Structure 1
Amino acid sequence: MWQSFTMKLLPGMAAEYQKRHDAIWPDLVNLLKQTGISEYAIFLDEQTLVLFAVLQVNDPLLLHDLPVHPVMQRWWHYMSDIMETNADASPVSIPLKPVFYLP
């Protein structure tokens, strides 16, 4: 099943965001894979600084455990200085409604 959402970078942080994802932590990659995420991509609209994320997950219910995992929380804190976040350091994330799919 595909899931998608948007997030937003702070001004001037696009290069840093790219740098941090180029060096993504192996334990975070393992966590995402163990959660059943088989594909995950993030795209940047450079004009608005909106990030568009799309991921494929076997069981969407498994995603509910990610926010409490220590690795996920460390990643959120690590990223919190370059993007819009909630009080718990999680990124402000807006789910998107699917309206079209071409297999």
Structure 2
Amino acid sequence: WWSLITLTTVGYGDVSPVTPVGKLVGAITAVMGVCVVALLTGIVASAFSNQISRRKEMFQAEIVAALSDGVITEDEMQKIEEMQKRLGMSDEHATAVIELLRDRHVPK
């Protein structure tokens, strides 16, 4: 009992079960609590990852649209820089993405 309560980080509290049935119910509750926290953590992490991916895709789509004629104009570059700042992207990262997409999408 004590090792399970320690492993699930529930803690001993002021009251602890005495009977075997009480310990079983307490153990199941402790394990389910850890499972719920793990599940919620996974959901939040997945949502965060999806949001980051969507923002990167939007940034890349903006660059591809700007490169549709083969040249990024001053106005288009200003929009790209504004989006870069909103996304908290470094200048080096943004430049690397622009160069990569320029190599892929510029008509030859």
Report which of the two has the higher share of strand.
1
TM value normalised by structure 2: 0.28
Report which of the two has the higher share of helix.
2
TM value normalised by structure 1: 0.29
